[in-house]
Structure 1
Amino acid sequence: MTLLTRPLSDGWSVSLDPPGSAPALPALIPATVPGCVHTDLLAAGLIPDPYLDENEVALDWIGRQQWRYRTTFDWAPDGHEHHDLVFDGLDTIATVFLNGVEIASTANQHRTYRVPVAGRLLAGSNELEVLFGSAWAYAEDWRDRLGDLPGPYAAPYNFIRKMACNFGWDWGPGLVTAGIWKPVALESWSTARLSAVRPVITVDGGDGRIDVVVDLEPDTVDMVEMRVTAAIAGISASMVVPRGATSVSIPLTVPEVELWWPHDLGPQPLYDLHVELSAGGSPLDERTQRIGFRTITVDTSPDEIGSAFTIVVNGIPIFVRGANWIPDDCFPSRVTAERLAARIDQAIAANVNLLRVWGGGIFESDDFYRLCDEHGVLVWQDFLFACAAYPEEEPFRSEVIQEARDNVTRLMPHASLALFNGANENIWGYQDWGWQSRIGDRTWGAGYYTDLLPAVVAELDPARFYYPGSPYSGSLDQPANLDSHGLRHIWDVWNEVDYTTYASYVPRFAAEFGYQAPPTYTTLRRAISDRPLRPDSPGMRHHQKADDGNLKLARGAAAHLPTTADFDDWLYLMYVQQAEAVRFGVEHLRSHRGVCMGSVVWQLNDCWPVTSWAAIDGDGRPKLLWYALRDAYADRLLTVQPQDGGLELFGVNDSRQPWAETVTVERITFDGTVVASHTVELSVPGLSLRSVQIPPDVAAPRDPRAEVLLVRGHSGAVALHFFTADKDLALPDPELRVEVMIDGDAARIVVHATGLARHVGLQADRLHPAALSDDALVTIRPGSSHTFTVRGAGAFTADDVWSTKALQHLAGVARA
């Protein structure tokens, strides 16, 4: 008999346990599975939206209670020998009861649980209950038992296997969830079932080779002869399962396979691998996975600088143009496949070729990895350890083992998965953040990163690269965060120094760096009811989670931008600052292609409306940073960089095709007068860079405050280089003139400039909350124009563009 899966998603309710232990609530509240307590209470109208104003604080009590979920389902004997309740995810401290009898207890949000219940099911109605204890209470209890360990926050998130950022982060709220956050089902089977299918994939010449490792759960009481058949692309092979075996391996060779590539280098062909388990010719279980053929290695070999960190796809070393990914919502069950598809489309449109799934969140949903497979986005997967020391004592060690095994097994078939990383900033923290004196001789996580996790990956996913941490320099015997070795995080720029300090770093791979700005105007207005809005109004302060965040924004802006007392102008300036800081860092890193082979910006997305480092805010709207990142990550980039007292023009080509470009370099005044010019033929092979010195008579300004270097390629590539900070530029009134032409859902906004117009920013959401623009942050040269195409705004006029402050520019800022 074939395995039968019956979802148990209907008829759930949730209640406080015991009643009356918190604000008065109905005895039974309708619940959604998958979901969590917060979303259930919100859907029932019993709490305000925790993302709005300061509601988060008033809802802290939710995470400190016990909650009981309950449903009933009918069952009748169906001839199967085995019946299992399968919980794909329980968040987090759960006790499961079937018909009043405890059948399981759990303490890990990141695991799956299979509970045999064949002897406990009743013909007719069955009652299933899950009692969730307080994650706060559990974590605090283990912290008190083992002794506190260092981390960035007071919350003891390192003493529980739960999404760490639920407890609050420097971009996230403290909303400690509980609930059945992934599907639950009753699975019925006989004789045996497939417990895992692990295709280990390699490419040999033009042939794809798969070692299909099939793990079984057999009925050891009544073992019969079983057969496993694996098929792909019209090729199949079968193997009889040796009596008593729980695993078999079936080799397959697919001639002349089409290779899977990241989206910037080629197509993403995927093949269906079908595995069937049978006995006596009758099917027992089957599974289909979509796989891709490619090789992904990471070159960490020593060289004259130190040691490299270069991702190599199908034999081609690539420069990673990446972004860090956090959970897209504090309540992951709300993140649909459609929402993930929109976010991944935004990443691709910004020329991002890798997403790093950060270790303080979750192992993402199957939809996330499927979409990355289909659309050619590489995935770097952290194991879930972030910014703290973690205990290795029981019960945590056993939980980590099973959590790793569950998720390596689940994720390893995906073509997009490039590497596993042990931890985020934990090795660096141990070495450089004063942890050692506090930890003493206790465990802190090193055994996970250097022993346990690599062993799990080597066993279950032997073709995948594993690295112990980020940042990490290849050995615990040397500092973790070096330019010369491995992975580097650059955070002094945000925390302490000017963003031009990025130019002092030439890492082998920059895995984190970034700069803050508020969310878009419409998102702010939806989330914060302060009237008037000010940088320091209560709601704005609450939605700024970084230590001294507003002071750091002000400090950074002081060196580059004018000050203003007008909130709308301040908001525009913060968007500009974030965009320019990250653009500066990315272009610098790309100009060192070959030494540095990766830029992974912190961060792509947000989980709620907040001032943060994200390019896309919590409502899914792109900030000005997104547009700057798209330009800085373009396949072909022109950038001017200071070198040895002069200026050098770099052509960076991350496409596979050669790039021949006639480039004109002009030094012009802000009224458009050409003071000096130079033309150069730039020839850049694929996947490389070339540079040329800009002649001193062109590179050296007469008046740094009133001149700019304008670089134009005949193909349309453009670069600008200013000789002093924006705040010190002698900008004229550019005499902007706006024309609006409406054509159905599309509108063209043509902006004409008489003089140089610096940082012309279009915030399309100010015209309409659903509006999106094809461009948003440009500098218009004198006597020229730029056309923005806006969709979703409906009809509007040029007066609307000005009155809504949808269009702003640097010379138009009301200076304080």
Structure 2
Amino acid sequence: MLSRIYYIVFLFLLNCSISAQTSYRNLSLENWTFNKQNEVKKHKATIPGTVHTDLFQNQLIPDPFFGDNEKQLQWIENENWEYETYFTLSKSELKTQNIDLEFEGLDTYATVFLNGKVVLEANNMFRKWTISAKTHLKIGANHLKVVFNSAVQKGKDEAEKLTYTLPEKERVFVRKAQYQFGWDWGPRFVTAGICKLVQLKFWNTAKIENIKYNQIELKEKKAVLEFTTEIYVSKVKTIQLKINEKIETFNLKKGKNIIQMQYEITNPKLWWCNGLGDANLYPFTVEISHKNQFLDTKKLNIGLRTIELIQEKDQIGKSFYFKLNGKPVFMKGTNVVPPDSFLPRVSDSTYFSLVKNAKKANMNMLRVWGGGVYFDDAFYEACDVNGILVWQDFMFACSMYPGDDAFVQNVKQEVIDNVNRLQNHPSIAIWCGNNENDEGWHNWGWQKQFNYSQSDSTQIWNDYKKVFHEMIPQALDSLLPKEKNIYWSSSPSIGWGRKESLLQGDSHYWGVWWGKELFEIYEKKVGRFMSEYGFQGMPNLETLQKVMNKEDLNFTSEAFKNHQKHPRGYETINEYMERDFVVPKIFEDYLYVSQLLQARGMKIAIEAHRRAKPYCMGTLYWQLNDCWPVTSWSSLDYYGNWKAFHYQAKRSFENLLFSVEEESNKYKVFLINDNFENYSGNLELELLSFDGNSLWKVSKEVTIKENSSMIVYEIPKDEFEKRDLKNCVLHIQFNQIAANYFFVKPKDLKLQKPNIQIRKFDERTIEISSDILAKNVFLSSTNNAFFEDNYFDLLPNEKRIIKLSKAPENLKIKSLFETKN
């Protein structure tokens, strides 16, 4: 009998404990259905998801990415769609004092019904939507229904309210991912659906709504952090706040409370970006309790660091560079777009892989582009761990946007939600208002194209300033401590066609590709911070085979044309290829050479930027990844495969880098050092014929200063005037680093057929060598093994060790020679 009493008491105490703390119910796991509005038949839905993926999973549409299926699926965006589920609540669950219904993401115009009553009208894909739901719930079965209205139609309705036309028409009125309306690298799939988690949050006494911190002090021996915690309580309470091992007591009023608490760290370890030190993180657990009853908790990882954007006038213009922990850092990286047209398919592992591939390529900064989405937490967590700084755009791109009060207030809440979510990440370096809106207004001819009157132009520009010069910076001022509040209103600051763009601010240089200028123009058009530039390269054959029939793998098929979204893309690639390479006749060889072409152009650009240090202090190419299998500017294809360019970026982003600049009468050999230490050693330069004969050789002792770009040797051109430079390579070596320099374009090289030998060390290690120069050696296997180095130049009798991700099956080798015949 006594044991039974103990058991009853135990259950009572357990129930009290459970009822006192915050808990969650994931409604995404319930059985959901969807249907086109006014259609009776319902189909199984996956949450999170989109209507496109649900239609495909139910075999109601073909694969949206395959062939030219995109064209026949545009009807989906014009329909309204309904999603619904039933879930059961127990009596004990409904006893909870507070029950919130939380949608992490609704895409985009959503009316939410709970047991037949409208409880929410949502209109922003980027916001978190929370409602107090207890009064609408009941014991037993509950019905949740979400009706999505066509974002395209909603955008058109808003556009009609204006007396003038904004560029890009309906998309600018809709707060959803802009790239879904189609881009020059992405298809048009305007989605709808419950795109992120939906859940019930049960809480009684109190809940933690938000936590942020700022660094009060950061010195060698001590760091002092101040945590600001936003807590909601149901009635007046005494709350214990615990941050790791430290506890303080606070008396809180009913409703919203903001409390602050300091925390000290002795002998702090700083957070450094990739290549310059460890990305040290301190884990924190923040808990609240009442009379020893646990109520709620949140976890975060904090990196101790300082970041500054330095803009100082100089003799040429104005600097634009970042200081990390007081040190000027040259930023090396790229722009990131959403990894899929259908965002719920993007897993945490996808984000982790993207960041890991950036780190492997020696990058230290990624720019989250403004035409996509604010990425999931996993992306920023991966950047924190891997030491990758983030340039974070707000989600506006390549147009002008409305400025009415409803729109501005909607965007303001979007800013608040996302800045609160992201601001604690040490990876966040800068917040940027938009991508190319300012440049577009001043340089793209919209005023003439849309026949704006003076009053129209004034209104549009005033609306622009209201959002990007007033509301967003004011919101950031209210949300962020000073050390986290670096804001840049628009990228680029000045259009690429104006000379001032290379003298100050950040620059998007598109004279190459859009302007069809020679790759070599990159060596002259160097700005203070190059935040966009690029060139297209095709994906490998295996990637295209996944989305095209065999008979469509040619330049004339509609399927192939559909997987190039730039109107003159293939024409531009071919024009540049004719300049620099022998154009292959075989389709697969053409894909390979297109990648070499892209890698060559980007090598010229990146190394010109790095040679110009400290005048130029950043190079972020366009673009890292794709949202579908396509020919684009990416260095990683949709499936995460490395193109030739990604391997080249890895080489060109090394902290110690040789780069040669040709002038009219000499060759200047640069050694760029991004490390914070000097290096001394023997510099060796050797001119080799392609069959391995040494034609010229010199060496000297050099010292390269920390964090600098230096000319370490100059070779007069008359030194080589009697040499056939079409049959020569300059090999440069210093300590453990080396580089090769070719004097002519690839099409002019006198290549001969190499005899490439492979020696297998173990299942995942090979040694590769050649009797003569093997240019751009490409290794591949049918089981998609990853090679840690690829598309490399192999000198005569050089032995190179290559690590693989797994044992290769049907290993294949190709070099540039095979494509020239």
1:3 matched residue in structure 2:
22
Q: Identify the residue that residue 370 of structure 1 maps to in structure 2.
A: 381
CA contact (8 A) 1:565 1:814 kept: no
CA 186–244 in structure 1, closer or farther in 2 if over 3 Å, else same: closer
State the partner residue of 1:345.
356
Among candidates 155, 160, 180, match of residue 144 of structure 1? 160
SS of the residue corresponding to residue 53 of structure 1 reads coil
In the TM superposition, what is the alpha-carbon distance from 1:180 to its structure 2 partner? 0.7
Please give the secondary structure, in 2, of the residue aligned with 1:395. Answer: helix
- Measured at CA, do residues 254 and 241 of structure 1 come closer, stay the same or move farther in structure 2, by a change above 3 Å? farther
- Distance in 2 between residues matched to 1:146 and 1:195, nearest whole Å: 38
Measured after TM superposition, the shift of residue 353 of structure 1 is: 0.9
Q: State the partner residue of 2:11.
A: none
Q: State the partner residue of 2:281.
A: 270
- Amino acid in structure 2 at the alignment position of 1:630: K
Unaligned runs of 5+ residues in structure 2 are 1-19
Q: Contact 1:699–1:709 at 8 Å: present in 2 too? A: no
Q: Which moved more, 1:260-269 or 1:180-189?
A: 260-269
Deviates further, 403-412 or 780-789? 780-789
| Equivalent residue number for residue 224 of structure 2 | 209
Partners of 1:569 and 1:814 within 8 A in 2: no
Query: Is the Cα contact below 8 Å between 2:507 and 2:528 reproduced in 1?
Result: yes
1:791 Cα deviation after fit: 4.2
Gaps of at least 5 residues in structure 1 are 21-25
1:653-672 to 2 correspondences below 5 Å: 653-672=673-692
Could you tell me which of 122, 127, 134 is aligned with 1:106?
122
Deviation per CA, 1:27-49: give whole Å up to 9, x if none: 12111111111222222222221
- Residue 757 of structure 1 corresponds to 774
Tell me what 2:12 maps to: none
Paired residue secondary structure (1:246): strand
Report how many aligned residue pairs link the two structures: 788
Question: In structure 2, do the counterparts of structure 1 residues 668 and 445 end up closer, same or farther at CA, with 3 Å as the change threshold?
Answer: same
What corresponds to 1:508 in structure 2?
A: 528
Q: Is the 8 A contact 1:530 1:539 kept in 2?
A: no
Any conservation in 2 of the 1:530–1:538 contact (CA below 8 Å)?
no
CA distance in 1, matches of 2:320, 2:383: 22
The CA deviation at 1:744 is 5.5
Structure 2 residue 602 is the aligned partner of structure 1 residue 565? no
Contact 1:228 1:239 in 2 (8 A): yes
User: Is the CA contact 2:396–2:434 (under 8 Å) kept in the aligned structure 1?
Assistant: yes
> Structure 1 counterpart of 2:114, which letter?
L
- Structure with the higher helix share, 1 or 2: 2
Q: Distance in 1 between matches of 2:47 and 2:586?
A: 46
1:198 aligns with 212
Taking structure 1 as reference, are residues 119 and 227 closer, same or farther at Cα in structure 2, changes over 3 Å only? same
DSSP-derived class of the 1:111 partner? coil
- Report the TM-score when normalising by structure 2: 0.91
Distance 1:235 1:687 in 2: 41
**What is the identity, as a one-letter code, of the residue corresponding to 1:412?**
Q
Look up the match of 2:308.
297
Residues 308 and 486 in structure 2, CA contact (< 8 A), matched pair in contact too: no
Kindly report which structure 2 residues correspond to 1:354-365, keeping only aligned pairs within 5 A, or say none: 354-365=365-376
Report what 1:118 is aligned to. Answer: 134
Rounded to whole Å, the distance in 2 between the matches of 1:362 and 1:202 is 32
CA distance in 2, matches of 1:642, 1:614: 28
Q: Partner residue of 2:792? A: 778
Report the Cα distance in structure 2 between the residues aligned to 1:583 and 1:250, rounded to whole angstroms: 50
Equivalent position amino acid for 2:51 in 1: V
The residue type paired with residue 154 of structure 2 is: Y
Q: Is contact 2:683-2:735 (8 Å) kept? A: no
Residue pair 2:101, 2:200 contacting (<8 A) in 1 also:
yes
Amino acid of the structure 2 residue aligned with 1:688: S
Kept in 1: contact 2:661–2:668 (CA 8 A): yes
What is the Cα-based RMSD across aligned positions, in Å? Answer: 2.4
**Aligned in 2, Cα 1:600/1:276: closer, same or farther, shift over 3 Å?**
same
Q: Does 1:550 align with 2:570?
A: yes
Asked if the contact 1:428/1:479 (under 8 Å) is kept, the reply is no
TM-score (norm 1): 0.92
Deviation at 1:289, TM superposition (A): 1.5
1-structure distance, mates of 2:727, 2:820: 23
Please state how far the C-alpha of 1:535 moved relative to its aligned partner. Answer: 3.0
- Give SS of 2:366's match: strand
Q: CA deviation at 1:374?
A: 1.4
Asked if the contact 1:270–1:291 (Cα under 8 Å) also holds between the matched residues in 2, the reply is yes
Letter in 1 for 2:424: P
Mapped partners of 1:661, 1:774: distance in 2: 27
1:483 equivalent in structure 2: 502
Q: Per-residue deviation at 1:407?
A: 0.3
Cα displacement string for residues 667-699 of structure 1 (whole angstroms, at most 9, x for unaligned residues): 333343433332232311332222134131576
Residue 259 (1) aligns with residue 270 (2): yes
Q: Is the 8 A contact 2:552 2:559 kept in 1?
A: no
Q: Residues of 2 paired with 1:566 and 1:747: CA distance? A: 31
2:191 counterpart letter in structure 1? T
Q: Of 238, 241, 255, which residue of structure 1 is paired with 2:252?
A: 241
> SS at the partner of 1:694?
strand
| 1:808 aligned onto 2:818 | no
Structure 1 residue 185 corresponds to structure 2 residue 199? yes
The C-alpha deviation readout for 1:555-600, integer Å capped at 9, x for no partner, is: 2112111123221221121010001111111011000111111011
Does residue 325 (structure 1) correspond to residue 339 (structure 2)? The answer is: no
Aligned-residue offset at 1:528: 1.6
Distance 1:190 1:56, change over 3 A: same
Say which of 6, 17, 27 aligns to 2:36: 17
- CA distance in structure 2 between the aligned counterparts of 1:454 and 1:587, rounded to whole angstroms: 34
8 Å CA contact retained: 2:761, 2:767: no
- For residue 583 of structure 2, give the secondary structure of its aligned residue in structure 1: coil
Q: 1:687 aligns with which of 707, 716, 721?
A: 707
- Does residue 227 (structure 1) correspond to residue 242 (structure 2)? The answer is no
Equivalent of 1:464 in 467, 481, 484: 484
State the distance in 1 between where 2:249 and 2:391 align.
Answer: 34
Secondary structure class of the residue paired with 1:441: helix
Cα offset, 1:177, TM superposition: 0.8
Residue deviations 1:361-402 (CA, integer Å, cap 9, x gap): 111101111111112111111110111111111321111000
- Taking the aligned partners of 1:51 and 1:345, their CA distance within structure 2 comes to 26
Contact preservation (8 Å) 1:470, 1:489: no
User: Which residue is 1:622 aligned to?
Assistant: 642
1:67 to 81, 87, 93: 81
Q: Is the 8 A contact 1:90 1:179 kept in 2?
A: yes
**C-alpha spacing 1:215/1:644, structure 2 compared with 1 (3 Å):** farther
CA contact (8 A) 1:86 1:186 kept: yes
Q: 1:705 to 1:647 in 2, by over 3 A?
A: closer
Alignment partner, residue 23 of structure 1? none
Cα distance, 1:671–1:327 mapped onto 2, change above 3 Å = same
CA drift at 1:812: 2.3
Moved more, 267-276 or 132-141: 267-276
Which string of whole-angstrom CA distances, capped at 9 and with x for unpartnered residues, describes residues 47-106 of structure 1? Answer: 221111111111112222111111111113443222110111101110000001111111
Mapped contact 2:308–2:323 kept (Cα < 8 A): yes
Structure 1 residues 359 and 156: alpha-carbon distance in aligned structure 2, compared to 1, 3 A threshold: same
Q: 1:245 to 1:16 in 2, by over 3 A?
A: closer
Identical residues among aligned pairs (%): 30
Query: How far apart in 2 are the matches of 1:738 and 1:244?
Result: 73
- Report which stretch shifted further, 394-403 or 682-691: 682-691
1:526-555 CA-partner distances (Å, limit 9, x unpaired): 112141622343222110001200111112
Counterpart of 2:601 in structure 1 is 581
Match of 1:710 in 2: 730
Separation in 2, partners of 1:33, 1:532: 34
Could you give the per-residue CA deviations for residues 226-249 of structure 1, whole angstroms, max 9, x where no partner exists? 3352414x4444443367763222
Amino acid of the structure 1 residue aligned with 2:522 = Y
